[in-house]
Structure 1
Amino acid sequence: MHVKPTAPHLHLLAKAPLPGQAKTRLIPFLGAQGAAEAHATMVRHCVATGCEALGAENVTLWTSLDHHHPLFLELQTQHGIALAAQQQGDVGMRVRHALNSTDGPAMVMGTDCPSITSAMLKRCRAALSTFAVVILPAEDGGYGLIGSHHDHPSLFEGIPWGTEQVLSVTQSRLAALGLEAAYPDTMWDIDRPEDWQRWQQLRHASV
């Protein structure tokens, strides 16, 4: 009997779009309110993409700053996704906590990565059926998504988050663990005004 492989659970990490606290590097370009609105646009986009690729029942949005922000409640109502409060701690602690919160294979993604498409998520899902770990490398030396079947603490402890060494250090840890990872595609996140403009141009080109 052929058993359909379980869809991995997708965990999305999102700050509430509070002016002055979300996408601060876009503030000189868009203003505090504009940067917060840009952030909300990205969160909506990433949630919709995740639901399209994997089904809303396999998506959890992990919130921070304001767990009951109207944006989060809107997305829960609109898509039927689960909401959860992010763990305290650095990026690694929050990612690892989310990955281990559900049974079976899981993937974690930020919500400043609207370059990750539904097709890319489906390729990640397929890769996880044969690989121990899946990663979408970022152009800047980090990564926008990581998925695994089991808990591997060393992939998230002592990583130089926010630097261009994130992926290379993670790959060294994978090698030390004897784990083979799949890298189905490359993505880019939105940190700077030029990143935002790049995404806007892509959105308008696809309309």
Structure 2
Amino acid sequence: MNQNSSTCIIIFAKFPAAGKAKTRLQPELGVAGAARMARKLLLHSTRQARATGFTVELCVSPAPSDSCWQTLDLPKSLHWSAQADGDLGLRMLTASQNALKKFEKILLIGSDCPALTATKIHSAAQQLETQNSVMIPAFDGGYVLFGFKKAYASLFADIKWSTASVASITQQRIKDLNWSLALLAPLPDIDEPEDLQYLPVGWLDGVNVSDNSY
């Protein structure tokens, strides 16, 4: 089995609905602008993941059968799954365990990091040839990418998600498993108004800054 067919990227995503997506960016971008930014980030993450040549699974809320997803014109080559019930950790564990029934290597990513390119994802996957796990931390203390070949509940349980301790706690859990870890250079997530400085040039074009209309 070659690396492309043995590796699955799972993108965790919620539908970028106005009023519910990227709410922390609303003071800067407005309700509609924050939703457009969420949509742009999701489409970017999907493009970069597909460009690796790996299998890409979009693990979503609401379920893939919801008609809202048809509005995004996403590629038909994507694999789809519904997020499980429970907190983010349980959802990631469930999706990972299901994917490991078919694939040797799993890369979990979100849809918040425009700096996460196909090249960086591919480099992370290559680390799993010799390492038990790989992580790209986020500037805010979370992680942008987490890859592994086995999924244990301890990697995801009893963690306060969206806090500055997520990456460090996960790294300790990895150490407790006696796993090796390839720790790659951190990247910025786009969650808060101060994160907008990390957007690529032109990304705010078409996003009506301070437009609070819906």
From the superposition, tell whether residues 71 and 35 of structure 1 become closer, same or farther in structure 2 (CA, over 3 Å).
farther
Corresponding residue to 1:4 among 2, 12, 24: 2
Deviation at 1:161, TM superposition (A): 1.3
Deviation at 1:72, TM superposition (A): 6.6
- Partner residue in 2 for 1:99: 96
Is 1:154 the equivalent of 2:151?
Answer: no
- Partner residue in 1 for 2:48: 49
From the superposition, tell whether residues 66 and 200 of structure 1 become closer, same or farther in structure 2 (CA, over 3 Å).
farther
Is the partner of 1:60 in helix, strand or coil? strand
Is 1:108 the equivalent of 2:108?
Answer: yes
Is the partner of 1:42 in helix, strand or coil? helix
Which piece of structure 1 moves more, 66-75 or 105-114?
66-75
Deviation at 1:66, TM superposition (A): 6.0
Partners in 2 of 1:110 and 1:39 — Cα distance? 11
Which piece of structure 1 moves more, 4-13 or 66-75?
66-75
Runs (5+) with no aligned partner, structure 2: 205-214
Give the TM-score normalised by structure 2.
Answer: 0.85
Runs of 4+ in 1 over 6 A off after TM superposition: none
From the superposition, tell whether residues 72 and 11 of structure 1 become closer, same or farther in structure 2 (CA, over 3 Å).
farther
Q: Which amino acid aligns with 2:9?
A: L
Partners in 2 of 1:113 and 1:95 — Cα distance? 18
CA RMSD of aligned residues (A): 1.9
From the superposition, tell whether residues 66 and 106 of structure 1 become closer, same or farther in structure 2 (CA, over 3 Å).
closer
Looking at secondary structure, tell me which structure has more helix per residue: 1
Is 1:17 the equivalent of 2:8?
Answer: no
Contact 2:188 2:198 in 1 (8 A): no
Partners in 1 of 2:53 and 2:181 — Cα distance? 20
Partners in 2 of 1:178 and 1:71 — Cα distance? 43
From the superposition, tell whether residues 71 and 143 of structure 1 become closer, same or farther in structure 2 (CA, over 3 Å).
farther
Partners in 1 of 2:57 and 2:201 — Cα distance? 29
Give the TM-score normalised by structure 1.
Answer: 0.88
Contact 1:13 1:108 in 2 (8 A): yes
Deviation at 1:185, TM superposition (A): 2.6
From the superposition, tell whether residues 19 and 91 of structure 1 become closer, same or farther in structure 2 (CA, over 3 Å).
same
Aligned positions of 1:97-176 closer than 5 A? 97-102=94-99, 103=102, 104-176=104-176
Describe the superposition over 1:56-75 as per-residue Cα deviations: whole angstroms up to 9, x where unpaired. Answer: xx001111136432457611
Give the count of matched residue pairs: 198
Partners in 2 of 1:66 and 1:52 — Cα distance? 24
Q: Which amino acid aligns with 1:155?
A: L
Is 1:59 the equivalent of 2:92?
Answer: no
Describe the superposition over 1:163-200 as per-residue Cα deviations: whole angstroms up to 9, x where unpaired. Answer: 11111111111111111111233211110123234214
From the superposition, tell whether residues 203 and 92 of structure 1 become closer, same or farther in structure 2 (CA, over 3 Å).
same
Contact 1:40 1:71 in 2 (8 A): no
Describe the superposition over 1:34-78 as per-residue Cα deviations: whole angstroms up to 9, x where unpaired. Answer: 1111100000000000000134xx00111113643245761133x
- Partner residue in 1 for 2:199: 199
Is the partner of 2:199 in helix, strand or coil? helix
**Which fold has the larger relative contact order, with Cα–Cα distance below 8 Å and residues 6 or more apart in sequence?**
2
- Partner residue in 1 for 2:25: 26
Partners in 1 of 2:125 and 2:140 — Cα distance? 23
